[in-house]
Amino acid sequence: MSTETDLPDGVVVVGIDQPLVRNAVNTETAARLHDAFVAFDADASARVAVLTGDDAAFCAGANLRDLPKLRDSGPLGPTRLQLSKPVIAAIEGWCVAGGVELAAWCDLRVAGSSARFGCLERRWGVPLIDGGTYRLPQIVGVGRALDLILTGREIGSEEAERMGFLTRVVPDGEALAAAVTLAGQIASFPWRAVVNDRRSVYAGLGRELADALALEDELGKDTIFADGFAAGVDRFNDHQAGRRP
């Protein structure tokens, strides 16, 4: 986990760091990624994490010559963790097979314009077992998710953005910088509101409407009664007053 001084306050960068194999994940890498995100979630000073590969590849999935051992936290490391804070994927180059699942585990995804995506494991009889069959339909819809999962076809950033998988597409080589900037913006907001609204979104998935609204109300009240909410309202009022003619 990176905590360089040039990062915005509250932002950390986690690198997959296996460039010789297009950032394919083996057992050692999976354990390192898992531990890095557990540490991130426990660190009160860390607010948003950015997960990245390198300019050639975000992640090519599992290293089939050194398969990660199956573990409760997910074969690729963190994919069965349910964090309390946001993670952004910074994607360049190849994001395929389990790399798609790892990116889908993140809250937001920023990619270079030449990045490539696909459930290429379909061609080799390898299943999706890092949450892809659950998360992809929620992100892009059932029909598009099945198109990717069943055909194993490869797509580019333009189509991935159009179907809703990507949050931002930027020029090649700028995904990490753009993701760090986005992370810094999120980290700068009043924090109770950020984490409670994020929690409300995920916890509400699959619930009946009345239950989801009750949870939203509960978490909203927690935010409203938290320290700092009144100061935020004052800032908003001052901002609006400044815009009046």
- Give 10-residue mean pLDDT values along the chain (245 residues): 72 96 94 96 98 97 79 85 97 98 98 98 93 97 98 98 98 98 97 94 91 90 74 51 55
Say what the pLDDT of residue 236 is: 44
Tokens 């986990």 belong to 1
The reply to whether 140 and 60 lie within a common domain is yes
Identify whether residues 69 and 106 lie together within a single domain. yes
Alpha helices per DSSP H over 53-141? 98-105, 132-140
pTM above 0.85, yes or no: yes
Residue 35 lies in a domain: yes
Shared domain for 117 and 62, answered yes or no, is yes
Q: Where are the alpha helices (DSSP H) in the chain?
A: 27-42, 98-105, 132-140, 142-151, 157-162, 175-188, 191-204, 209-224, 229-243
Instruction: For residue 138, give the CATH number of its domain.
Output: 3.90.226.10
The pLDDT of residue 2 is 53
Same domain, 151 and 222: no
Residue ending a domain, among 167, 188, 209, is 188
Q: Are residues 202 and 134 in the same domain?
A: no
161 and 56 part of one domain: yes
Residue 222 lies in domain: 191-235
60 and 84 inside one domain: yes
Question: What distance in Å separates the CA atoms of residue 180 and residue 51, rounded to the nearest whole number?
Answer: 10
Exposure string over 54-82, b if 16+ CB within 10 A, otherwise e: beebbbbbbbeeeebeeeebbbbbbbbbe
Q: pLDDT value at position 226?
A: 73
Choosing from 121, 174, 208, 216, which is the catalytic residue?
Answer: 121
Q: Is 158 a catalytic residue?
A: no
Residues 115 and 42 in one domain: yes
Query: What is the count of structural domains for the chain?
Result: 2
Residues 91 and 104 in one domain: yes
Same domain? For 153 and 216 the reply is no
Decide if 241 is inside a domain: no
Could you confirm whether 101 is annotated as catalytic?
A: yes
Q: Is 65 within a domain? A: yes
26 lies in the same domain as 128: yes
Using DSSP, state whether 166 is helix, strand or coil: coil
Which of 28, 92, 101, 161 is the catalytic position? 101
Please tell me whether residues 23 and 91 are part of one structural domain.
Answer: yes
